[in-house]
Structure formats: structure tokens, C-alpha cells
């Protein structure tokens, strides 16, 4: 089962992102990436953004890449940008091959892995704001694990906690780590 949701602290609030429709059994054309924020009193979730997959596939950026309509996986909230979610889209083509003579019951499938795209999505304006492509060397790498992280001034040599809280200069990085997904 693909990774379809994650949670993070964004701007001091607990947020959740999920691919709505996947677990509900909808046709994948109706799926929508949705974000929620937990209220400060921890009593209710407020829906923040909805990005239908059909809207994603119709963006100029997506169409320019000539990608098939695939379901994004591994949604990750940006820890620094309130309305930004990062997702992965695998460009994989499966071709059925004819069985060799004498092996009529054997079906073969050829897999052509063209690339793995990471999209930064603006959930408030339903648009792609960044794109990168990775071409894994092995098929084991097509199910990535994404980790969003925020590294602050403390990692740059701040000497005490006052410096960390008072220093207005922070360095923020989004790490996209591709770790093979193993099942034993």
C-alpha cells in the first residue's frame, strides 16, 4: 500500500495531509490531496486546502512533463511553508509481453521506469511551485520515504539557547530522502 498521509508541526500547529478517496475506494480520478490543521485546544480538525488530482494533472507544469495521470504518493508537509505539500509521482510504464511459443499460460510484464518526480504543491492556489526529477538506479527505490526537516541556527554554532531564540536568521532545508522500501 502506498504512503498516502503524514503529519507535521508547521508554524507551531499540528497539520495532517492525506490522499482522500484512496481508502474510501473511489476511482483514482476523484482522489484529492487534502490538508487539515488541529485546533489549539486539540478538539477539532479544520480543513485547510484541497487539491483534486484532476486539477494537478491539468496544470501547465504537469502537462509539460508529458507524464501519465498517476496518483501522487508520500505526501509531506513543508515545515516552513504553511500551504506547501511535497509529493512523489512515479513515471512507470508496464507493458504486457507475449508469451513464448509453448508457454501460453505464462504472462510476462516489462517495466520501464522513466523517472521519479517530486512536486511542491501550493495547496491554497492549487498549483505546482517546484519540480525535480530523480532516476533511481534500482527498482527497489521507487517507493521513497520523504522526511521534512527544519534545521535552525543551533546547528550553525549558536552557543546558548538565548541565541537560538533571539537570532532571527534561520536556515531551513527540506530534505527529500529516498530510502528503499523493504518488506521482509
pLDDT tens digits along 30-53: 999 999 999 999 899 999 999 999
Joined together, the cell numbers standing for residue 135 give 532516476
Domain residues for the domain of 89 are 5-166
Backbone angles phi, psi at 131, to 5 degrees: -145, 135
Residue 179 in any domain: the answer is no
Q: How many domains does the chain have?
A: 1
Residue 140 in any domain: the answer is yes
Residue 156 in any domain: the answer is yes
Residue 177 in any domain: the answer is no
Residue 182 in any domain: the answer is no
Residue 171 in any domain: the answer is no
Nearest of 138, 126, 116 to residue 182 by alpha carbon: 138
pLDDT tens digits along 75-97: 999 988 889 999 989 887 766 65
- In this prediction, residue 11 carries a pLDDT of 86
Q: Is the pLDDT of residue 173 over 90?
A: no
Q: Report yes or no on whether pTM surpasses 0.85.
A: no
- In this prediction, residue 184 carries a pLDDT of 31
Residue 49 in any domain: the answer is yes
- Report how many helices (DSSP H) and strands (DSSP E) the chain contains, helices first: 3, 8
Residue 142 in any domain: the answer is yes
| Count of CA atoms in the C-beta half-sphere (13 A) of 46 | 9
pLDDT tens digits along 118-168: 999 999 999 999 998 877 666 555 555 555 555 453 444 444 443 333 332
- In this prediction, residue 111 carries a pLDDT of 66
Amino acid at each position: 500500500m502506498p504512503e498516502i498521509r503524514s503529519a507535521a508541526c508547521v508554524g507551531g500547529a499540528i497539520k495532517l495531509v492525506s490522499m482522500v478517496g484512496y481508502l474510501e475506494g473511489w476511482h483514482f480520478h476523484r482522489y484529492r490531496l487534502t490538508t487539515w490543521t488541529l485546533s489549539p485546544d486539540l478538539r477539532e480538525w479544520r480543513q485547510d486546502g484541497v487539491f483534486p488530482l484532476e486539477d494537478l494533472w491539468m496544470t501547465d507544469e504537469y502537462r509539460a512533463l508529458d507524464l501519465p495521470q498517476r496518483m501522487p504518493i508520500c505526501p509531506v508537509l513543508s515545515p516552513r511553508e504553511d500551504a506547501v505539500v511535497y509529493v512523489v509521482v512515479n513515471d512507470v510504464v508496464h507493458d504486457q509481453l507475449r508469451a513464448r511459443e509453448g508457454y501460453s499460460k505464462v504472462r510476462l510484464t516489462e517495466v520501464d521506469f522513466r523517472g521519479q518526480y517530486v512536486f511542491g504543491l501550493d495547496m491554497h492556489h492549487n498549483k505546482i511551485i517546484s519540480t525535480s526529477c530523480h532516476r533511481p538506479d534500482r527498482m527497489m527505490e521507487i517507493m521513497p520515504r520523504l522526511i521534512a526537516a527544519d534545521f535552525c541556527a543551533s546547528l550553525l554554532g549558536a552557543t546558548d539557547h538565548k541565541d537560538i531564540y533571539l537570532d532571527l536568521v534561520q536556515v531551513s532545508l527540506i530534505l527529500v530522502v529516498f530510502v528503499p522500501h523493504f518488506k521482509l
